[in-house]
Structure 1
Amino acid sequence: MIRMIRFLMVLFFPFLMSSTSCENNNDSVPDWEWDENEDEEKDKPRILWIDAAANFVDFANNKENIFRDMQLAKDVGFTSVVVDVRPTTGDVLFKTDVAEQVKWLGAWLDKGYSKVERTATWDYLQAFIDVGEEVGLDVYAGINTFVGGNSTSLGDQGVLFRDKDKKEWATYLLTESGVKSTMEVGGTGAKFFNPVREDVQNYICDMLEDLASYDGLKGIILDRGRFDELDSDFSDYTKNEFEEYLGYSVENFPEGVMVEGTTPGHLPSSTPEYFKKWLEFRAKVIHDFFEKAAARVKAVNPELKFGVYVGGWYSTYYGVGVNWASPEYNTASEFPTWATSEYKNYGYADIMDVILIGAYASPTKVYGTAEWTIQGFCSQAKRKIKGAAMVIGGPDVGNGAWATASNDVTNDAITQSVEAVLDVCDGYFLFDMIHLKKKDQWDAVKEGIGKVITPEEGK
């Protein structure tokens, strides 16, 4: 049930594993030029996300297509891209001995949902870094952090399916029929690791060290640096760690922690004895992992920007065990129903150089001050992060209501979103390149950026 609610809310990143991917029909790059000026907003970063699976048909084996679309991104006014190099399969598109290379990904083609195989041997991430240097775009590497596999109609992929020695790494879910491994529950989608496990954390950090060694890389952005959902993780391993955190045993586990079917934003009037302490513990787990991961990355390259992607819906984001606010923000003062007085101690914003905020409101909700408006998501995040990290927010322009709205509506919303975001935070973020390509909406972004950069000229 919780997954259905979340699906209806935003259609988060894994949806792009089944998003429509298409070839760009624009064979030539428009001759767009930008006026150089000293406007303050011009210095704010404008970041475009490049999902691996959705764009794989174009980029898996073709450097020319990488150049074509990176040049487009530069010409419309983006300053940076985040290249997804560890998709939800958990395999990788960069050099490392820790994980296997991606061999194929699923994408929507004209013939339907199909495998796109990678036959090229050149370094996928390095190709983007090289092109970025050529066209003038900073390149960040994005990874799906705590995923170990993915199941689709095309088959199962990832280390959780391949390596029996890592069977216990899978997260254990609280289900109607008791606590079960995510591998037993079945269904399609990403299969999560248990973030509490030290061996899982070390596995990810080893991978991050290899990623941090890339010369020319601007930074690393961690997506899915979280628990699967509120029903995760209820393994014996996590129970023992929770008890160690408390300093005493919990006799009635999991009933004393959470009732099955509990969903973020719809908590019962009375929750179990340890529920709020459980949320606090989960936030600490993720906080401490990021502290460890940042140290490992910075030890390799202290100049790298270390950051994270999160959903902007802070009021219910406790469901995935994450407190992305500053530790100076007193969560309990605003959300006493679920936050303890200690919950704020595990805000991890001060660990980050940059936080990308998914401001995933509908195209008719661009302006506002509250959650579920694009601008409101960003201004609320800015308030909670309190200057501890750069706050860069923006819309998903292809999923949810964006997928069914007319092109006129979405074009206007894209254009308006640039100003709406940059007026309240430190940079602009758009998800995903595939949507701009699919509907040829590059001009809508260009117009929005132009209005901010050169407002006196309106372009």
Structure 2
Amino acid sequence: MKKYFLLLALSFFAVACNTEENNTDNNDGKEIPLEPGNSGNKTNKPKAIWIDAHANFSRFATKSAITSYMEKIKDTGFNEIYLDVKPGIGYALYDSDILPKLEKWGTETVTRDWDYLSFWLEEAERLDIDVIASISAMGFGYTKDKQGIIYDDSRWDGKTQVEMKNSDPNNLVDIRNQTDVDAAMLNPCLPEVQTYVISIIEEIVTKYPKLKGFSLDYCRWYGGNYGFSDATIQAFQTYSGETVTTRNDIITSTGGIGRLYNKWIEFRSMTITNLITNISSKIKAINPGIELHLWASADWGSRYSVGQNWASKSYSPAASSIYTADYSKTGFADQLDVFVLGAYADAVWISENPGSVWSVENFVNTYDNYTKGDCKVYGSIPAYSYDNKATSDAVYLCMKHTDGLMVFEISHVINKNSWSAIKEGINRVEK
């Protein structure tokens, strides 16, 4: 997961969200006490750390390195890990019969004669830590070096996401020819793409029954201007019953909202929701006990542009030039066991960024307006953004106001040496 880059501004025409929240936790800079009445009563919520494949490709080349850091993870208070086993390059960090083994990424080469995922599971079992396997659902290529499945196999020609640059229908660019993207992503509206992604998930869930859960990352369109291939336009016309005379019917030549824009938004969101629904059905058919997780930005008001309506189907935004009257049907919270709420804001407290939704405190206090109890929610924070005090505060807020914690990600925790700050934040709620 490449969320250690700054969060992309994903949407144009951003939707304003309600930002007025009672600032109940911020104690005007004073130290926040431990939770009253919690002495000796450990609630033992899930507390997870993400282990990104790219950022740690060489770090975990040996079993001894994995053992050492797993013990550090345990000592800090974590009881879960999210392990990236099929990152955006599209190769496997597990024993796959479908995907090539990931041994080279850019200039780094790591060769193992042992199963990466299996060893993490062995160490996790020894230390009583749960493992959630994660994949980049749509990512299948590293564009900077043109590595990955989409470059290796001609079957994916014409099946990657296409950007309409500068709102110009004559300027269509295949994502695999761009170098400023996190990964080259397949087109989720194509049945063969959905079948392929589900086959990878089926393989992992079947081969590794000791997994607690399976997590989807990059399960979306890459950005608001992506999805303009001929195949996607045809799928949209079939879905909507509308005729697209020009792509400017969707986004105008000046970058505005076209006459078909809200139906386009509904179609793109329904595409992702249908994929998630099919994934959930497949996982539960194999092993009903394995949880389905998904990470997405906590800013619900911008997710329409990438097709991620992580709300409940019972949450209905007002019909507008962005949302159709049926947009609520695209909500997918009910298909998840856990939504990992990406509260990736520079501000921890509302008072640091008043008048904006962008603070950890706001996100962890407002998510249920959207999910409405349809799934559990873990508050997730970026370790790269904060000093030790802010890290402790952000962990505290996630632990207090959500069902669990996920810290992104281990390389940043190592680089900033924020282990103790995370432990302190956990202990402010659990001691």
| Cα deviation code 1:78-102 (max 9, x no counterpart) | 1100000111101111122221111
Mapped to 1, the partners of 2:272 and 2:141 lie a distance apart of: 20
1:221 maps to a residue whose letter is S
Tell whether 2:186 aligns with 1:193.
yes
TM-superposed deviation, 1:425: 1.4
Aligned pairs, how many? 395
Q: Is the 8 A contact 1:223 1:308 kept in 2?
A: yes
Structure 1: which 5+ runs fail to align?
1-5, 13-35, 107-114, 263-267, 403-408, 455-459
Matches within 5 A, 1:268-287: 268=256, 271-287=257-273
| Correspondence for 1:405 | none
TM-superposed deviation, 1:10: 5.4
| Cα deviation code 1:339-369 (max 9, x no counterpart) | 1111111100000000111100115547789
| Cα deviation code 1:58-87 (max 9, x no counterpart) | 21x211111111111111111100000111
Query: Which residue, 313, 319, 322 being the options, matches 1:327?
Result: 313
| Correspondence for 1:423 | 400
TM-superposed deviation, 1:37: 7.1
SS at match of 1:383: helix
Change in Cα spacing, 1:349 to 1:188, as seen in structure 2 (3 Å) is closer
Tell whether 2:121 aligns with 1:121.
no
Matches within 5 A, 1:162-241: 162-176=152-166, 177-185=170-178, 187=180, 189-213=182-206, 214-241=208-235
Q: Is the 8 A contact 2:58 2:110 kept in 1?
A: no
TM-superposed deviation, 1:444: 0.6
TM-superposed deviation, 1:381: 1.8
More helix by share: 1
Q: Is the 8 A contact 1:88 1:149 kept in 2?
A: yes
| Cα deviation code 1:248-299 (max 9, x no counterpart) | 432x23111113674xxxxx4xx21100010001110000001111111112
Tell whether 2:335 aligns with 1:351.
yes
Change in Cα spacing, 1:422 to 1:8, as seen in structure 2 (3 Å) is closer
| Cα deviation code 1:4-50 (max 9, x no counterpart) | xx9764599xxxxxxxxxxxxxxxxxxxxxxx97636x232111101
Mapped to 2, the partners of 1:346 and 1:188 lie a distance apart of: 26
| Correspondence for 1:437 | 414
| Cα deviation code 1:106-134 (max 9, x no counterpart) | 4xxxxxxxx32121121111111111001
Matches within 5 A, 1:374-453: 374-398=360-384, 402=385, 410-453=387-430
Mapped to 2, the partners of 1:127 and 1:371 lie a distance apart of: 41
Provide the TM-score with structure 2 as the length reference. 0.86
TM-superposed deviation, 1:423: 2.3
Query: Which residue, 30, 39, 56 being the options, matches 2:41?
Result: 39
Please give the root-mean-square deviation of Cα atoms over the aligned residues, in Å: 2.2
TM-superposed deviation, 1:184: 3.9
Mapped to 2, the partners of 1:123 and 1:309 lie a distance apart of: 25
2:130 maps to a residue whose letter is D
Change in Cα spacing, 1:451 to 1:391, as seen in structure 2 (3 Å) is same
1:444 maps to a residue whose letter is A
Provide the TM-score with structure 1 as the length reference. 0.81
SS at match of 1:56: coil
Tell whether 2:29 aligns with 1:52.
no
TM-superposed deviation, 1:173: 1.3
Higher relative contact order (Cα pairs below 8 Å, separated by 6+ residues): 2
Mapped to 2, the partners of 1:205 and 1:255 lie a distance apart of: 33
Mapped to 2, the partners of 1:301 and 1:434 lie a distance apart of: 32
